[in-house]
Amino acid sequence: MMNQHAKIKRPLAWVTGASSGIGAALATQLADAGWHVVASARTLEALDRLAATHPSITPLPLDVTDLEAVRSAVAQIHHQHGDIDAAVLNAGDYKPMALADFDVTLFEHLMRVNFMGVVHGLDALREPMCQRGSGQILITASVAGYRGLPLAAAYGATKAALINMAEALQPEFKASGVHLRVVNPGFVRTPLTDLNDFAMPGMIEPHEAAQAILRDLHKTNFEISFPTGFVFVMKRLRNLPYALFFPLIRWITKK
């Protein structure tokens, strides 16, 4: 009979980009749901605020653009807390860009953070997860990765790359017992979407986005997307031929 005082291990999650927005909301909701959460971001102060109200959140400052730092962080988590049951590679940045403001450095920056930051996470997680044959990795992409949209040339390209990469890797991860999944949100109210000066249909709050992810966390579907109505529209746009897509986008954006 199991010792009644035996300590029951909480499931362990690692969330990057946890200082604000979806990452912070998801970290707190996971903690409330009984998970032990290792929360990573570049800003320790923001992580400490999360941990102050949720003792089961452990701050771990990290710059995801540094491959060796990411490898070291994953090794540290395994050493101190055990196997990662769910990794949410959520760190990202955004800035709208019109053609008149075309900026090569913005493309480089967003690709480094949004895309290579996830690649670094996959590099560090792949071996330990595949060796034990369990766990899941969630990649935060975006419905902006479905099709090229005005002002999102730099940002959308990184999200399209994430979706494509995840599709390519999913079968092999699955064969190893690891579930690789993509999270495709629509507009979520964050300091980043506050940069937009246009109407954002279907806008939801970070806690609503976190709830949507948490609802599907126990499932194995490849894509988690929300909100339902806006995603439905974006998926229809995804399938339109160019002859219809470009005139429709011009009409919607009045360009």
So which residues are the catalytic ones?
155
Number of residues in the chain: 255
Q: β-strand 136-140 against 86-89: which pairing, if any?
A: parallel
Cβ neighbour number for residue 55 with a 10 Å cutoff: 9
Alpha helix positions (H), the chain: 21-32, 44-53, 67-81, 104-110, 117-132, 153-175, 206-216, 228-239, 242-253
Residue 111, Cβ density class (10 Å: 0-12 exposed, 13-18 middle, ≥19 buried): middle
Strands across the sheet containing 223-226: 57-59, 36-40, 12-16, 86-89, 136-140, 179-185, 223-226
Cα of first residue to Cα of last residue in the chain, in angstroms, is 70
* Type of residue numbered 223: E
- Nearest-angstrom CA–CA distance, 148 and 156: 7
DSSP string of 174-200, one letter each residue: HHTT-EEEEEEE--B-STTGGG--S--
